[in-house]
Amino acid sequence: MFATASEVDMAMAAAERAVVAAEAAQPRGQAAQALEQARRQWQAAQAARRKADKLRFAEAAAANADLAHARARLDAAREEVDSRAARNADLRRRLLVNPERRP
């Protein structure tokens, strides 16, 4: 596979944007591991001499950064659901303890 300079530049820029976006999501757990892998691949892309290697590493970095970002968003959504479920359970308990307050 022969990569053009513009393809490599676009892939490198996309990988960098993806890593920055994933970092902003403050990933933890598996998401943080995927982000770390993306960072290593991004560094490998920067260090690579051949355009084909740069392209391959940049595309892998972007994919892993996107995965990290998606996992971080999923984790945040799960935390929100758990928080709301706990709040609802607390409200239900209060209603059961004080039934006269019901409309």
Residue 101, pLDDT above cutoff 70: no
Contacts of 102 by beta carbon, 8 Å cutoff, 6+ apart: 95
Average pLDDT, the chain: 93
The CATH code of the domain that includes 32 is 1.20.1270
DSSP the chain: ----HHHHHHHHHHHHHHHHHHHHT---THHHHHHHHHHHHHHHHHH--SHHHHHHHHHHHHHHHHHHHHHHHHHHHHHHHHHHHHHHHHHHHHHHH-GGG--
Domain of 45 in residue numbering reads as 5-101
Residue pLDDT, tens place only, 30-85? 999 999 999 999 999 999 999 999 999 999 999 999 999 999 999 999 999 999 99
Domains held by the chain: number: 1
Q: 45, 43, 38: which is closest to 19 by C-alpha? A: 38
